[in-house]
């Protein structure tokens, strides 16, 4: 049965619960404002039900979004004129928008998706929705009617990308048209009702100037990053969940010359590279029968046959790391990848663990030699206690000594305390160690001012 048909049945058979769901902005106390809000919701319910009598709602799903929105708007205006309802322009616009959101959008979540400050939307059952703003979680008054209403919205989201979620397949990973990542899990795995999380992919494309303005990094470090990218050093960006790894990768990719061929590999497409010569690849999960899966490792192997100048892996998380490291050390210099790890040293341990997942049995020393020969620079980003995101450390791999991969820090963010408003205080400093790749950078035609490596910390 089509989604809109189910909504139609729900409105005709259970109007009272639907009315309750639309009163998500009220307060427990009865006030004059509440009475006005209830009257508005009753009007919206009446118009909503009349709409199903006037329109063949099952055909709306097959129309272009702009045309479908236009038809709904015209029908609602006709209903209001027919019934002689007198509304202010503001109330009429509000009414039309809310009904369009229920029919064509994501219902109560639609206004949240238009707030550019919101980076995460977390739905914990039908009556609890949290959002993240500026790195902090905040409760909202947004509510769904019941679990079935939430399931309808989840169904709408995943159906847009050709996926499904039901009792046979109770977990789903997908993405919205704007690149935002969504994850949904439903009963019986979710005990308290369906849960939905949306990792927003903002409309604004950040560049390095934005990062400097937000104090994520300072101009001296930007100059160093620009140089190592153009000189084709292999770079690994590490950090925890929500630390800004993908944003950092997007910004660093701006330094890649426009005449180079780039191939990106991702689990869920998030990268927004602005070079003209980019081929974007995305993995494919297995179908219901468990067949047809295309993993990141498959894509990495195929990429090597596509004559890439640089390979960019959105996130290294499995056996593909073995093929990626081999590519980095056999002619595909200048490649960039991200990895979940809390420190640069931890990221090396994770790489070793994932190399074991590739199924290739090789000694530990051989694995570490592979890592040391393939990777050059590790950039560590983190989200701090005040919600800000910063580069905490830039380290370089200088080779092997015995069984250990040698690593040295070039730049770091030194925290000095907490400000009155809870903001983290500190400064970016050089460690005083000159990069071991200085000669390689100069050979590539890029000379760094030695002052940027000078330790100026007091």
Question: 17-26, 202-211, 428-437 — which one is most confidently predicted on average?
Answer: 428-437
CA 206 to chain centre: 13
Please indicate whether residue 385 or residue 96 has the higher confidence score (pLDDT).
385
- Both 245 and 275 in one domain: the answer is yes
Matching residue, tokens 């790195």: 135
188 and 110, same domain (yes or no): yes
Record the tokens describing residue 226, joined without a space: 């620009």
Does residue 215 share a domain with residue 169? no
Residue 458 lies in a domain: no
Tell whether 321 and 220 lie within a shared domain.
Answer: yes
pLDDT class for 205, splitting at 50, 70, 90? confident
Q: Which of 73, 104, 135 is the last residue of a domain?
A: 104
**Which residues, in sequence order, are CB contacts of 387 under 8 Å at separation 6+?**
134, 135, 136
In this structure, the answer to whether residues 225 and 359 fall within a common structural domain is: yes
Give the end of a domain, one of 137, 169, 204.
Answer: 204
Does 188 map to a domain?
Answer: yes
Q: Which residue has the tokens 């990495």?
A: 300
Model confidence at 2: pLDDT above 80: no
* Residue 165 in this model has a pLDDT that exceeds 70: yes
- Where residue 215 falls (left for φ over 0; alpha for ψ -120 to 50; beta otherwise) is left
Q: Give the mean pLDDT of 47-51.
A: 67
Q: Do 379 and 338 fall into the same domain?
A: yes
Distance CA 304, CA 279 (A): 13
The answer to whether residue 406 sits within a structural domain is yes
Q: Say which residue the tokens 């590790």 belong to.
A: 378
Q: Give dist(CA 235, CA 320) in Å, integer.
A: 16
Q: What's the CA gap between 224 and 412, in Å, rounded?
A: 13
pLDDT band for position 19 (cuts 50, 70, 90): very low
Structure tokens at 434: 């000159």
Domain count, the chain: 3
**pLDDT of amino acid 226:** 93
DSSP per-residue letters across 96-125 = HHHHHHHHHS-GGGHHHHT-TTEEEEEEES
- For residue 317, is it within any domain? yes
Are 132 and 119 a contacting pair, CB within 8 Å?
A: yes
Is the separation of the CB atoms in 296 and 317 below 8 Å?
yes
Instruction: Verify that 32 and 112 share a domain, yes or no.
Output: no
Q: What is the pLDDT of residue 68?
A: 72
pTM of the predicted protein model: 0.74
Answer for the pair 377, 394: CB distance below 8 angstroms, yes or no: yes
Is residue 30 a part of any domain in this protein?
A: yes
Q: Same domain, yes or no, for 293 and 371?
A: yes
> Domain range for residue 150?
105-204
CA distance 208 to 225: 10
DSSP classification of residue 433: P
More confident of the two residues 24 and 180: 180
Which residue's entry shows tokens 């707030």?
115
Confidence label for 9 from pLDDT (cuts 50, 70 and 90): very low
Indicate if the pLDDT at residue 158 is higher than 50: yes
- Provide CB contacts within 8 A for 55, sequence distance 6+: 71, 72, 75
Beta bridge pairs of residue 278: 262
Asked if the structure places residue 405 within a domain, the reply is: yes
Residues 266, 351, single domain; the answer is yes
Round the average pLDDT of the chain to a whole number and report it. Answer: 80
> Bridge partners of 132?
120, 137
CATH number of the domain encompassing residue 330:
3.40.50.300
Describe the crossing of helices 32-54 and 89-104 by its angle, rounded to 10 degrees: 60
Backbone angles phi, psi at 175, to 5 degrees: -145, 150
Angle at 321 between CA 319 and CA 322, to 5 degrees: 80
Domain co-membership, 223 together with 352: yes
164 pLDDT tier (thresholds 50, 70, 90): confident
At how many degrees (to 10) do helices 65-83 and 89-104 cross? 130
Q: Residue 37, CB half-sphere, CA atoms under 13 Å: how many?
A: 16
Q: Cα separation of 249 and 236, whole Å?
A: 9
Residues 359 and 380 in one domain: yes
Q: For the domain that residue 184 is a member of, what is the CATH number?
A: 3.30.450.370
257 with 402, same domain?
A: yes
57 lies in some domain:
yes
Please say which residue of 43, 69, 104 terminates a domain: 104
For residue 342, the tally of other CB atoms under 10 A from its CB is: 15
Helix (H, G, I), strand (E, B) or coil at 190: coil
Q: What is the pLDDT of residue 372?
A: 92
Contacts of 117 (CB under 8 A, 6+ apart): 133, 134
Q: Assess whether pLDDT exceeds 90 at residue 99.
A: no
């Amino acid at each position: 049965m089509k989604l809109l048909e189910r909504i139609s049945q729900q409105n005709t058979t259970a109007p009272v619960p639907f009315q309750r769901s639309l009163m998500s902005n009220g307060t427990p106390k009865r006030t004059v404002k509440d009475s006005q809000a209830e009257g508005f919701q009753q009007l919206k319910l009446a118009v909503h039900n009349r709409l199903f009598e006037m329109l063949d709602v099952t055909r709306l799903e097959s129309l272009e979004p702009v045309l479908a929105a236009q038809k709904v708007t015209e029908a609602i205006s006709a209903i209001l004129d027919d019934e002689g309802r007198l509304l202010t322009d503001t109330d009429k616009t509000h009414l039309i928008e809310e009904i369009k959101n229920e029919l064509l959008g994501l219902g109560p979540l639609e206004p949240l998706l238009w707030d550019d400050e919101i980076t995460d939307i977390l739905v914990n059952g039908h009556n609890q929705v949290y959002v993240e703003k500026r790195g902090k979680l905040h409760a909202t008054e947004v509510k769904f009617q019941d679990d079935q209403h939430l399931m309808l919205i989840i169904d709408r989201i995943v159906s847009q990308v050709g996926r499904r979620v039901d009792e046979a397949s109770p977990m789903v990973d997908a993405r919205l048209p704007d690149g935002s990542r969504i994850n949904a899990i439903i009963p019986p795995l979710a005990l308290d009702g369906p849960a939905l999380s949306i990792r927003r992919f903002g409309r604004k494309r950040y560049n390095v100037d934005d990062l400097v303005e937000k104090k994520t990094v300072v101009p001296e470090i930007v100059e160093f990053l620009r140089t190592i990218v153009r000189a084709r050093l292999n770079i690994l960006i590490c950090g925890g969940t929500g630390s800004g790894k993908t944003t950092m990768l997007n910004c660093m990719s701006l330094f890649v010359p426009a005449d180079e061929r780039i191939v990106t590999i991702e689990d869920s497409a998030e990268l927004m590279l602005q070079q003209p010569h980019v081929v974007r690849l995305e993995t494919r999960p297995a179908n219901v029968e468990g067949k047809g899966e295309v993993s990141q490792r498959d894509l990495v192997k195929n990429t090597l046959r596509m004559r890439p100048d640089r390979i960019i892996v959105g996130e290294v998380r499995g056996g593909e790391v073995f093929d990626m490291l081999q590519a980095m050390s056999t002619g595909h210099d200048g490649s960039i990848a991200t990895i979940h790890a809390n420190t640069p040293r931890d990221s090396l341990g994770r790489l070793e663990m994932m190399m074991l997942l590739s199924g290739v049995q090789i000694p530990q020393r051989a694995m570490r030699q592979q890592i040391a020969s393939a990777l050059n620079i590790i950039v560590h980003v983190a989200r701090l206690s005040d919600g800000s995101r910063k580069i905490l450390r830039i380290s370089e791999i200088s080779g092997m000594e015995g069984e250990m991969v040698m690593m040295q820090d070039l730049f770091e963010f030194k925290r000095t305390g907490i400000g009155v408003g809870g903001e983290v205080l500190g400064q970016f400093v050089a460690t005083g160690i000159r990069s071991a790749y200085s000669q390689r950078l100069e050979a590539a035609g890029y000379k760094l001012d030695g002052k940027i490596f000078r330790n100026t910390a007091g």
